């Protein structure tokens, strides 16, 4: 664990506040295609599959870049990497306004996607300022910068209507560049970098930083993040299109409703971090997956008309979800996904305190790839099935598989850790050590079982 000698509460709050603000701006830029993409789709006459690819392309860059940005942040520090990443992205966003063809739009979108890499830069920088016992809450607050998606969904439609999509992109570029300058001027070098300067110790090699990626556990965390973050980004980009198509709403109204999903999907990440500190990240993941299954099942049900041959003739009735009820469901879904995002990243600085950048980069990359592949899959499903709710059916299947896989993996891990429990059917959810376990050679009383203990990591 890194040292925090000489770090005051003021230093901690300064680092957390600046990182959270910068990440919020970056996330707003990262999801800008969810709004301006609708106008671009209309201008170029794109299919839903082409639109899905355009929206997803920035997510690809933001995902793949995370592992490299994470390693470089570990080596050179967030005070250098954060402003550099934002300035490069700002240039790409400004150049976007000179593009004319779909193919070049895709290339420009790759550069814009660097905004998504800001997440792992902020995680690596922020985690170095806090004690292990407070990292879950701190990273949860930082992760609330996902609210940038809501900022875009709320504000960008009105900018597009007033200024056009080109001027909207230019406004975003200027704000991002200004944020980069402010961060560099106001932020301090993190304690790890200061210690290296004081002792003359060099940065760890890239090979050593990537060493933990051999652990299956790291890839398991990444699988969880594929849904809680990847699907969050995908839905934040897809919902404006869904509302305008399925319910025939205006773009401004669709953006506000999509923002109502993004808002709880962001701000309650801090609550998820606190819950993970208090009750354990595994408990929060179970809660996230179970509630998501219920909500997605309802959202998946398409608008349906029934005709029943009754005694006195045909009886017809319809079933469908009103737009108000659907918006309420998205709010619930966004809330539990925000808890899950914090729970996944609670593990990383605890298990890998010296490899937060590389491990967090991989987890973030896999999660971000969900944000890349899912919008494309959504567009393909719409083109192939013609059913508006097909994307939610896909998400339901993903969550169902993830829940079963997580539960089975946890059970196997518990039995491997405690061989005496191999034949036990009544295991607690997350035992660190079974209570009242029989001593070696002792037989357990018939019908007895280990006591259930509080959830732990």
The larger pLDDT score, comparing residue 260 to residue 197, is at 260
Q: What is the pLDDT of residue 256?
A: 85
Given pLDDT bands bounded at 50, 70 and 90, which one contains residue 356? low
What is the spatial distance between Cα 94 and Cα 415, in angstroms, rounded to a whole number? 55
Q: Homologous superfamily of 9-192+212-417 in CATH?
A: MFS general substrate transporter like domains (1.20.1250.20)
Q: Is the pLDDT of residue 164 over 60?
A: yes
Q: Is the pLDDT of residue 440 over 50?
A: no
The larger pLDDT score, comparing residue 278 to residue 159, is at 159
CA distances from 90 to 57, 58, 332 (A): 17, 13, 33
Q: Which residue has the tokens 């106008």?
A: 39
Q: Where are the domains of the chain?
A: 9-192+212-417
Given pLDDT bands bounded at 50, 70 and 90, which one contains residue 14? very high
Q: What is the pLDDT of residue 429?
A: 41
The larger pLDDT score, comparing residue 254 to residue 449, is at 254
Given pLDDT bands bounded at 50, 70 and 90, which one contains residue 303? confident
The larger pLDDT score, comparing residue 55 to residue 187, is at 187
Q: Is the pLDDT of residue 105 over 90?
A: no
Print the SS3 string covering the chain: CCCCCCCCHHHHHHHHHHHHHHHHHHHHHHCCHHHHHHHHHHHHCCCHHHHHHHHHHHHHHHHHHHHHHHHHHHHHCHHHHHHHHHHHHHHHHHHHHHCCCHHHHHHHHHHHHHHHHHHHHHHHHHHCCCCHHHHHHHHHHHHHHHHHHHHHHHHHHHHHHHHCHHHHHHHHHHHHHHHHHHHHHHCCCCHHHHHHHHHCCCCCCHHHHHHHHHCHHHHHHHHHHHHHHHHHHHHHHHHHHHHHHHCCCCHHHHHHHHHHHHCHHHHCHHHHHHHHHHHCHHHHHHHHHHHHHHHHHHHHCCCEEEEEEECCEEEEEEECCCHHHHHHHHHHHHHHHHHHHHHHHHHHHHHCCCCHHHHHHHHHHHHHHHHHHHHHHHHHHHHHHCCCCHHHHHHHHHHHHHHHHHHHHHHHHHHHHCHHHCCCCCCCCCCCCCECCCCCCCCCCCCCCCECCCCCC
Of 248-252, 255-259, 344-348, the range with the lowest mean pLDDT is 344-348
Mean pLDDT within 40-60: 82
The larger pLDDT score, comparing residue 413 to residue 159, is at 159
* Mean pLDDT for all residues in the chain: 80
Q: Is the pLDDT of residue 4 over 90?
A: no
């Amino acid at each position: 664990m890194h040292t925090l000698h000489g770090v005051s509460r003021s230093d901690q709050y300064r680092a957390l506040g600046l990182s959270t603000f910068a990440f919020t701006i970056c996330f707003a830029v990262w999801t800008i295609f969810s709004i301006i993409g609708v106008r671009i789709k209309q201008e170029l006459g794109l299919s839903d599959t082409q639109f899905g690819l355009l929206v997803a392309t920035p997510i690809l860059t933001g995902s793949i870049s995370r592992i490299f940005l994470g390693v470089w942040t570990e080596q050179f520090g967030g005070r250098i990497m954060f402003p550099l990443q934002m300035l490069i992205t700002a240039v790409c966003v400004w150049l976007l306004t000179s593009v004319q063809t779909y193919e070049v739009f895709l290339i420009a979108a790759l550069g814009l996607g660097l905004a998504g890499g800001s997440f792992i830069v902020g995680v690596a920088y922020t985690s170095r300022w806090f004690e292990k016992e407070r990292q879950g809450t701190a990273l949860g607050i930082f992760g609330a910068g996902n609210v940038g998606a809501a900022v875009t969904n709320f504000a960008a439609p009105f900018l597009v209507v007033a200024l056009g999509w080109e001027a909207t992109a230019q406004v975003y570029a200027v704000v991002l560049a200004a944020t980069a300058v402010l961060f560099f001027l106001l932020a301090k070098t993190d304690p790890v970098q200061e210690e290296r300067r004081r002792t003359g110790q060099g940065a760890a090699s890239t090979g050593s930083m990537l060493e933990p990626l051999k652990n299956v556990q790291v890839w398991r965390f990444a699988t969880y993040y594929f849904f809680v973050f990847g699907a969050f980004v995908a839905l934040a980009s897809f919902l404006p299109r869904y509302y305008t198509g399925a319910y025939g709403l205006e773009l401004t109204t669709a953006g506000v409703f999509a923002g109502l999903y993004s808002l709880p999907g962001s701000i309650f990440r801090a609550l998820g971090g606190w819950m993970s500190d208090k009750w354990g990240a595994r408990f929060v993941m179970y809660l996230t997956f179970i509630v998501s299954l219920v909500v997605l099942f309802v959202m998946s049900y398409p608008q349906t008309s029934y005709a029943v041959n009754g005694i006195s003739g045909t009886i017809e009735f319809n079933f469908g979800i009103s737009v108000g009820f659907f918006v309420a469901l998205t709010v619930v879904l966004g809330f539990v996904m925000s808890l899950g995002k914090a729970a996944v990243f609670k593990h990383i600085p605890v298990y890998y305190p010296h490899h937060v950048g590389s491990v967090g980069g991989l987890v973030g990359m896999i999660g971000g790839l969900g944000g890349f592949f899912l919008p494309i899959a959504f567009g393909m499903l719409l083109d192939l099935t013609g059913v508006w709710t097909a994307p939610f059916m896909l998400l339901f299947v993903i969550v169902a598989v993830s829940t079963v896989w997580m539960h089975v993996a946890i059970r196997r891990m518990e039995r491997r850790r405690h061989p005496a429990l191999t034949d036990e059917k009544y295991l607690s959810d997350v035992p660190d050590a079974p209570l009242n376990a029989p001593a070696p050679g002792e037989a357990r009383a018939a019908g007895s079982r280990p006591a259930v203990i509080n959830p732990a990591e």
